[in-house]
Chain A
Amino acid sequence: DSGVTQTPKHLITATGQRVTLRCSPRSGDLSVYWYQQSLDQGLQFLIQYYNGEERAKGNILERFSAQQFPDLHSELNLSSLELGDSALYFCASQSRDGELFFGEGSRLTVL
């Protein structure tokens, strides 16, 4: 158990819909990362937040957005969903010495 909690574990929705994935980092960790794992693109960095502020952006689509709240949990919002958005979405929190600890992921299926 990494200490990072992600909900929901599985989500099935239709094209055009919007979903929100939630992540609670390990106690004491200030930084949260979101990654997308798809069959064709592999594991790709989406976005990073540190203590509520956006720190770095990767290959995140404009239809996707994220935020980190004062209690440090983070949400990844995916809108206007397309079939190609079906993937496993990971959240990771970063310890003070720089290690990334990954949650179990949220598996999104877009039908």
Chain B
Amino acid sequence: AQKVTQAQTEISVVEKEDVTLDCVYETRDTTYYLFWYKQPPSGELVFLIRRNSFDEQNEISGRYSWNFQKSTSSFNFTITASQVVDSAVYFCALRGNYGGSQGNLIFGKGTKLSVKP
């Protein structure tokens, strides 16, 4: 079975602090993809990153960085120097190459990040 666990339900930080959102996944697929999405208070789901299972290189995009470790089945997301606009719910998601639902994403429960000024 495929599963995504985001153990942190809510995190609150003060602006300019660094914050890491944890994501642990389970899958039997050898090829799979991991994603992070952001859901601001307005409700839409905004795509942040996709990583495939063969690429364990960490990625940095501005203040955002992602740490993918297959050995621990984790795909953690760090925001450096957080800002109030980063306040949102962040979802980690998994997609495998499995059966007829190749595009289906399995989402974690999300982590609500509040960044206070």
Contact = CB atoms under 8 A, between A and B. Distances in A.
Contact of A94 (B33, B44, B99, B103): B103
A48 B103 CA distance: 9
Given A56-B100, A56-B104, A94-B103, A99 B50 contact: yes
**Most chain B C-beta atoms within 10 Å of own C-beta, residue among A43, A45, A105:** A43
Nearest to B99: A56
Interface string B87-98: 000010001000
A56 to B, nearest CB: 4
Contacts of B91: 43
Contacts of A48: 101, 103-104
A42 B44 CA distance: 14
Given A42-B109, A42-B110, A43-B91, A88 B103 contact: no
Contacts of A90: 45
- The DSSP consensus for interface residues of chain A is strand
A58 interface: yes
Contacts, number: 53
Interface residues of B, number: 22
Given A55-B101, A98-B102, A100-B103, 14 more contacts: A31-B103, A42-B110, A43-B91, A43-B105, A43-B107, A43-B110, A45-B101, A48-B104, A56-B100, A99-B47, A101-B47, A102-B45, A104-B43, A104-B44
Interface of A: 2, 31, 33, 42-45, 48, 55-56, 58, 88, 90, 94, 98-105, 107
Among all A-B residue pairs, the 3 with the closest Cβ atoms: A56-B101, A43-B107, A102-B45
